[in-house]
Structure 1
Amino acid sequence: MATLIALGSTVAAFPAAAAEIIASKPKLVHHVFFWLKNPGSQADRGKLIAGLRLLRGIPVIRKLEIGIPAPTERRDVVDASYDVSELMFFDNAADQKIYQDHPIHQHFVTSCADLWDKVVVYDMAIVPE
C-alpha cells in the first residue's frame, strides 16, 4: 500500500515537472549557413569551425551545433552547397539579440568574416505543441 501511495504522489507531481520541462524548452532557432571564399579549403573550414566553437561562451545560447553537409542522397530539394553551418537555440528573441551584440560574437564576425563569401540566416520561432 505504501508503494501505491508513493507512486500516486510521483504521478501527481509529474504534471508540474512536465510543465516546467516544457516551459524551459528553447523558443527560437537561429540557423546560419556559410559559403567559404575558398570552397573546399580544409584550413579555412577548420578556422571557421574553431571560431564558431568560441560562441559557446555566450551564456544565452541554450545549445549550439556546428556541422558540414551530410553525405546523404543527392536530391533536387537538398542544398548541400554550403561549407559550414551552425544551429543555435535561444529562449526568446531578446536572448538572440543579446547574442548578436555580445563581444564574443562581435569578435567572431571581425576575425572570421574574411573566410566567407556568403552567409544565409534562417531564424525560426518554435511553434508550441
Structure 2
Amino acid sequence: MMKQPFSALLAILLLSSSCAALRQPKPIQGDFAHIVLFWMEGQTELGKAAFRQDMEAFIRSSAYAKRMYIGTPAGTDRPVVDNSYDFCLIVTFDNQAGHDSYQKEPAHLAFIEKTKGMWSRIQIFDAVR
C-alpha cells in the first residue's frame, strides 16, 4: 500500500523537475557576439522599415552569422536604460574568425554601402564568451 503513494510522489517530483529544466534560459549559440545600435535621426517610418528589411536580408545571407536578433527599444523606464537608438542588431558567430570574415563578406559590405546615409550614429559592442 505504501508503495503506490511513494511511486506517485516520485513521479510528480521527477515531472516537476523536468518541467523546471525546460523553462531554463537557453544559451545563445556562438562564442562571439556582435551588438550594433543604430540611430536614424531624420528617417521616416518608411525609411526605417526599408532599413530593417535590408538588414534582415543581408544577415540571412551571411555565411558566418550563427544567430541574429533585430529589435527596437523596449521603452523600459529605468535610469540605466538607453532607449535613444532606433535599431539593435545582435549577431553571433562561432568565434572571432567568423566575425572577422563576416566583416569582409560582400553582403555585409554592400549593406553598409547601401545604408550608410540612413543612420546618423552607430555604436558597436563585441563580446566573447
- Does the 8 Å contact 1:36/1:44 carry over to 2? no
**Which consecutive segments of 4 or more residues in structure 1 shift more than 4 A?**
none
Structure 1 or 2, whichever has the larger Rg, is: 2
Match status 1:67 vs 2:66: no
Structure 1: any 5+ residue segments left out of the alignment?
Answer: 1-24
1:107 positional shift: 0.5
Structure 2: any 5+ residue segments left out of the alignment?
Answer: 1-28
Question: In structure 1, what is the equivalent of residue 90 of structure 2?
Answer: 87
* Distance in 2 (alpha carbons) for counterparts of 1:109 and 1:37: 17
**Residues matched between the structures, number:** 100
CA deviations 1:20-50 (Å, max 9, x no partner) are: xxxxx410000000000315x2112112111
TM-score (norm 1): 0.74
Question: In structure 1, what is the equivalent of residue 125 of structure 2?
Answer: 122
- For residue 110 of structure 2, the aligned residue among 91, 107, 111 is 107
* Distance in 2 (alpha carbons) for counterparts of 1:56 and 1:121: 20
Is the partner of 2:117 in helix, strand or coil?
helix
TM-score (norm 2): 0.74
RMSD: 1.1
Query: Percent same amino acid at aligned positions?
Result: 28
Amino acid at match of 1:121: I
* Distance in 2 (alpha carbons) for counterparts of 1:94 and 1:50: 27
